[in-house]
Amino acid sequence: MKNNRRWAVSLYAALWVAAGLSSLAILGGCATQAPVVTSGDGWRKDQVADAYVFGYPLVASDIAREKATGGDASKPGQAPVNTLRHATALPPVGAAGRPSVDTLESTAWLDVSSGPVLVSLPNAPRGRYYDARAFDAWTNVIFSSVPHAADRPAPAKKLNAKAARAARLAAEQANVLAFVPAGYTGTLPDGVTRVETPTRYVWLSIRVRVNGQRDVREARKLQTAMSIDAPSADKTSATTAGSAWPNVTASTPTVVTGGDKPDSLDATAFFTRLAKAMQDNPPAPNDPHAVKLLADLGVKAGEPVQFRPADADLLATGLADGRTRVDTVPSNAISRNGWVWFGDGAGNYDTDYTLRAFLARRQPGTGTKDDEVKPVASSDSDGHALNGANEYVLHFAPNQLPPVRGFWTLTAYTKEGALLDDKTLRLSLSDRDRLRKNRDGSIDISVSAAAPAKARMSNWLPVPDGDFQLMLRLYVPKPEASDGTWAPPAIERQ
């Protein structure tokens, strides 16, 4: 790493060279937003925007890792790399970030630069849903578990002593995942599941379903049975860190300051963090054109980034366009009945950089269509913003509740994505609720801030007083939910 090299890049000069290559459509593989090829400053501005969209997920995850670990994990709520951090309680009222109110999440940032990292996950007892997902530093899913236990009631038949003991032992056995760098040739323990990671850092998310506050203690038992075993930094070998991770050491990564989210960074801070993060977390092999684009801008893995003051306006305009792209719903989203969600492409993005960046900003930790889909709605059937002053009804036709193999849950949030800020009867409705059916087998869910008549209380979802949004989570959805064949019903204002 050439840390002592100081130089300045002329953005105009670099981009005049790149202009001759416009016919290559550098980011032409992006499924949702191909670059606009024009001439003059407009063309160069688009290249800055393309580079921003491409690098956004890595910068976002790099900032998230830094906030979660802090290098030395010295602040409250932080945890060192290769250490699990457990949410031991359901989110409080008013919690921000559209949190789940039906799961406890355990998370960890893994660092494989010093050798394989082993993650032990216990089997869940029958009737307890939980899943595990791992993401590389570019937010691609590199591992996803089939739910360790289907979310269904325990068998009514009482087990004899021998069968009960066998079931208990099965629940106590662990599934061991071995996270290793791509191409790792060292030995691994017998019986582990090998997970190759193309990046040094991996984000691990494990979710356990909870059936209300009284069930938290039981769910916590699964969390305490999870563990991570990783080599210490002083055990780094040439086979694990040298060949697989050139120019990377196991020491604490360099911290690049300049804001706690990508949107707050100027061009120099954003691309500097991107260049540093790429040294530990290289782009995928199918990203050569994007890497060439970055190089033309003077952004190379592990090298300092310094733009000319004269390029400031061009860079700022390009970043503004990039931010707009990142914040715009991609064209390949599924949109029906006022709900928007994602199926194909989510989690496994290939060269769909626009979708990857959008979800990195709006729905961090998005899994594949087989893991979970999350339709979101913020307007009613007439296109008006949802508001707690009104009463709404979601009419599910017979046998048209969300199709899942795991479970589903419907939650209301404020316009900004926070939970209700006062205590209420419930924060969500799910497949575990005893929803009252109509005579024809259909189900009407009432959505409002004010409580409905007593006869409809079982089907009532309380919402904030002002503008709000709804999120429907489908855990392990059936194919008809992820391809748009099935859709949530329209939200009808009464």
- The pLDDT score that the predictor gives to residue 10 is 37
For residue 330, give the amino acid letter. Answer: P
| Per-residue confidence in pLDDT tens, the chain, 494 aa | 333 333 333 333 333 333 333 332 333 344 444 333 333 456 588 999 999 999 999 999 999 999 999 766 667 778 899 999 999 999 988 899 999 999 999 999 999 999 999 999 998 878 889 999 999 999 999 999 865 444 443 433 444 555 544 444 444 456 899 999 988 999 999 999 999 999 999 999 999 999 888 899 999 999 999 999 998 643 333 333 322 322 222 233 333 334 468 998 999 999 999 999 999 999 998 898 999 999 989 999 999 998 888 889 999 999 999 999 999 999 999 999 999 999 999 999 999 999 999 999 999 999 999 999 999 999 999 999 999 999 999 999 999 999 999 999 999 999 999 998 876 678 899 999 999 999 999 999 999 999 998 888 999 999 999 999 999 999 999 999 999 999 999 999 99
Half-sphere exposure of 34 (CA within 13 A, CB side): 10
Same domain, 317 and 365: no
Q: How high is the pLDDT of residue 164? A: 47
Considering the domain architecture, whether residues 25 and 143 belong to the same structural domain is answered as no
pLDDT of residue 352: 95
- Residue 193 counted as domain residue: yes
Helix (H) or strand (E) holding 233: none
Looking at the fold, whether 444 and 377 belong to one and the same domain comes out as yes
Full residue range of the structural domain in which residue 151 is found: 85-242
CB proximity list for 9: less than 8 A, separation 6 or greater: 297, 298, 305, 306, 307, 308
Element (H, E) at 470: strand 468-477
Cα–Cα distance for residue pair 230/118, rounded to 1 Å? 6
* Cα 370 from Cα 405, distance rounded (Å): 10
Counting beta carbons within 10 angstroms of the beta carbon of residue 31, is it exposed (0 to 12), middle (13 to 18) or buried (19 or more)?
middle
What's the total number of domains in the chain?
3
Last residue of a domain, one of 326, 347, 382: 326
Residue 115: what pLDDT?
92
Are residues 361 and 455 located together in one domain of the fold? yes
Can you say whether the dihedral through the CA atoms of 25, 46, 11, 320 is positive or negative?
negative
Residue 71: inside a domain = no
Look at residues 202, 219, 242 and tell me which one is the last residue of a structural domain.
242
With 0-12 CB in 10 A as exposed, 13-18 as middle and 19+ as buried, what is 125?
A: middle
Q: For residues 196, 197, 202 and 205, what is the CA-based torsion angle, rounded to 10 degrees?
A: -40
Nearest C-alpha neighbor of 372 from the set 349, 399, 404: 404
Do 322 and 410 lie in one domain? The reply is no
For position 29, which CATH number holds?
A: 1.10.3360.10
- Looking at the structure, tell me whether residues 415 and 438 fall in a common domain: yes
* Phi, psi torsion values for 122, nearest 5 degrees: -75, 155
Is 74 part of a structural domain of the chain? no
pTM of the complete model: 0.81
Please tell me the distance from the alpha carbon of residue 229 to that of residue 4, in angstroms, as a whole number: 36
What is the reported pLDDT for 308? 86
What span, in angstroms and rounded, lies between the C-alpha atoms of 14 and 192? 48
Same domain, 195 and 298: no
> Does 247 fall in a domain?
no
Going by C-alpha positions, the residue among 410, 378, 405 that lies closest to residue 482 is: 405
Give the per-residue pLDDT at 77.
Answer: 76
Per-residue pLDDT at 72: 63
- Residue 249 inside a domain? The answer is no
For residues 408 and 298, state if they share a domain.
Answer: no
User: How confident is the model at residue 260, as a pLDDT?
Assistant: 67
Assigned domain for 4 exists: no
In the sheet with 460-462, reading across from the earlier edge strand, the strands are 460-462, 443-448, 392-396, 491-493
Predicted local confidence at residue 169, as pLDDT = 45
Evaluate whether residue 2 is within a structural domain.
no
Q: Do 462 and 418 form a contact (C-beta atoms < 8 A)?
A: no
State the Cα torsion 97-326-480-134 to the nearest 10°. Answer: -60
pLDDT given at position 233: 47
**Which DSSP string corresponds to 407-452?**
EEEEEEEETTSPPPSS--S-SEEETTS-PPBPTTS-EEEEEESS--
Query: Each residue of 431-458: b (16+ CB within 10 Å) or e?
Result: eeeeeeeeeeeebbbbbbbeeeeeebee
Tell whether 290 and 178 lie within a shared domain: no
Do 445 and 368 lie in one domain? The reply is: yes
Burial of 20 (C-beta count, 10 Å sphere; 0-12/13-18/19+)? exposed
Check whether residue 378 and residue 486 sit in a common domain: yes
Residues 343, 288 within the same domain = no
Nearest to 390 by CA among 459, 453, 446, 454: 446
Of 100, 136, 134, the closest CA to residue 205 belongs to 134
In a domain, 173, yes or no: yes
Quote the CA–CA distance of 112 and 245 in Å, as a whole number: 10
Q: What is the pLDDT of residue 261?
A: 83
CATH number at residue 92: 2.60.40
Domain end (from 326, 351, 386): 326
Output the pLDDT for position 249: 27
Q: What is the CATH number of the domain that holds 376?
A: 2.60.120.600
